[in-house]
Amino acid sequence: MTDTESIGRTESTGRPGTPAGTANIGVVGMAVMGSNLARNLAGREGNTVAVYNRSPERTRTLVQEHPEAGFLASESIDDFVASMARPRTAIIMVQAGRGTDAVIEHLAERFEPGDIIVDGGNANFHDTIRREHDLREQGLNFVGAGISGGEDGALHGPSIMPGGSAEAWETLGPILKSIAAVAEGEPCVTHVGTDGAGHFVKMVHNGIEYADMQLIAESYDLLRRVGGHDVDELVQIFERWNEGDLESYLIEITGEVLEQRDADTGKPLVDVIRDEAGSKGTGVWTVQNAVGLGIPVSGIGEAVFARAVSSKPPQRAAVQQSVKSRPEIAQVPDTFADDVRAALYASKVVAYAQGFDLIIAGAKEYGWDIDLGNLAKIWRGGCIIRAQFLNRIVEAYAKNPELESLLVDPYFANAVAEGETAWRRIVGIAAASGIPAPGFSSALSYYDALASDRLPAALIQGQRDFFGAHTYQRIDKDGTFHTLWSDDDRREVDQDSSTR
Ligand code: 6PG
């Protein structure tokens, strides 16, 4: 086959005779996510899908294995571009970073004003803002779209978070709606906001995913090491939890992961997997950006740090050797599993409240008009954090779009208050027993900080003023003050009226 031939125009496509220039959508990158997304698109009424991969073998295999898809497959980028109808719309599903930049460059050289390039990878939203800006100058639409749901979601219905222009959404919206998951009768896709908004909220989605997973892991650890439940009992507990208000994809798969036996040893698989959690970086980005925006996302931060601690075997081994004794495991009441459940639910509310705070701050900083209720809606299906719980968030923002915090919504305030005593018991038991529960305890501290009428921040202000003349405000009068702290001249100076 020559470089200018297109595989899809042969009999092997299943749609013989399909002329060039008729695909309404194209996908670049035929690794699992890309090929599954292309198959999902091809299976929906009205779509003709152009496909292209840098190494053509993958494309050939896909076309051979799925003749029913009627792909218009190309082996050169020129043919790929030629196989699409205007406005051309291509979704890039390649590794974030340099790979994405290279594909964008190739497409941008060939695309014409009004055409649309979609990046469906886990891109850094700062890159998306830059790319959108550069391509706009060429008259091209660039859309950063967060796509969640893993391989299975890509094939059967992901949750999709597109950014980019309203003009691009007009063309792209119906196509994405055709492949997205459906929750409560609504497709799990919405135009999140302009330029990098889609990738920003996908980043926060992943951060919440980290927090959720960490809290579930802490629950598992406490139930096993303190509660004394064996793995079979844990499977039942997680199955039971998945029938109540904790019902979610992550609780469901936790039961399934725990149920799995290792083929070699017959042990629970979880007992032969090394306890060192990896990550690809979106959790770290979430925390970095939250710190920059001044938003406490301690639940996500603790989840990121817990993975980091787990991944330091030499340091762990050194401390284990030097620690002389460990606390005894506390005696716990029969209600322990219910207490853990309550702590998990309350901590999860905190993690989501913090995640939504970050989205509000990001929207303000970057000028996005993000509808939080719509966002919660599209996370109800298809994505990794899909959960019953998100219906409550949808309701909360429907009642009051200006909520100061999810913790203020009457449903969540009540849910946390109901679980509060158990939550405190669990944090105490974990500390007394020497079981790390950073997610539970930091969530409780955050809650207590917001709920306290006075914080020790006043002392910190005093310290700052002492060593650096950083000034402070008083509770009883307006103005900015500095104290002259030296022993012989202790008095306060009103900074606003002083010339110091
Ligand atoms: C999703 C997932 C997906 C992936 C991330 C996080 O929404 O489908 O979030 O994007 O799981 O890459 O993975 P790490 O845990 O490796 O950072």
Annotation says 377 is catalytic: no
CA-nearest of 156, 395, 98, 146 to 285 is 146
- Regarding the beta carbon of 8 and ligand 1, being less than 6 Å apart is answered no
What is the per-residue pLDDT for 383? Answer: 97
Ligand 1: which of 147, 156, 248, 384 to mutate, judged by most atoms within 8 Å of the beta carbon?
384
What is the per-residue pLDDT for 494? Answer: 86
Entry pTM? 0.94
What is the per-residue pLDDT for 225? Answer: 98
What is the per-residue pLDDT for 13? Answer: 36
- Regarding the beta carbon of 253 and ligand 1, being less than 6 Å apart is answered no
> DSSP secondary-structure letter at 183?
E
Q: Which atom of ligand 1 is nearest to the CA of 210?
A: 15
Beta-bridge mates of residue 142: 117
The string over 416-444, giving b where at least 16 C-beta atoms fall within 10 Å of a residue's C-beta and e elsewhere, is beebbebbbbbbebbeebebbbbbbbbbb
Two tokens, residue 21:
């220039």
Ligand 1: which of 201, 209, 276, 279 to mutate, judged by most atoms within 8 Å of the beta carbon?
209
Q: First and final CA of the chain: distance in angstroms?
A: 80
3-state DSSP assignment of residue 75:
coil
- Regarding the beta carbon of 44 and ligand 1, being less than 6 Å apart is answered no
The predicted-structure confidence for 172-226, as pLDDT tens digits, reads as follows 999 999 999 999 999 999 999 999 999 999 999 999 999 999 999 999 999 999 9
Two tokens, residue 468:
């650096």
Residues constituting the chain: 500
**Residue matched to tokens 């409240």:** 353
Of the candidates 75, 209, 218, 302, the residue annotated as catalytic is 209
Ligand 1: which of 32, 122, 147, 213 to mutate, judged by most atoms within 8 Å of the beta carbon?
122
Residue 143 dihedral angles phi and psi, to the nearest 5°: -120, 120
Cα of 414 from ligand 1 centre, angstroms: 32
What is the per-residue pLDDT for 20? Answer: 62
The predicted-structure confidence for 117-157, as pLDDT tens digits, reads as follows 999 999 999 999 999 999 999 999 999 999 999 999 999 99
The predicted-structure confidence for 24-61, as pLDDT tens digits, reads as follows 999 999 999 999 999 999 999 999 999 999 999 999 99
- Amino acid residing at 201: V
Residue 224 dihedral angles phi and psi, to the nearest 5°: -80, -50
What is the per-residue pLDDT for 477? Answer: 96
What is the per-residue pLDDT for 12? Answer: 33
- Amino acid residing at 259: E
Q: With beta carbons less than 8 A apart as the criterion, state whether 75 and 11 touch.
A: no
Residues of the chain with pLDDT under 70: 1-20, 497-500
- Regarding the beta carbon of 122 and ligand 1, being less than 6 Å apart is answered yes
> DSSP secondary-structure letter at 331?
P
What is the per-residue pLDDT for 138? Answer: 95
Q: Distance between CA 148 and CA 122 in Å, rounded?
A: 9
Annotation says 328 is catalytic: no
169 exposure class (CB count in 10 Å sphere: 0-12, 13-18, 19+): buried
- Regarding the beta carbon of 384 and ligand 1, being less than 6 Å apart is answered yes
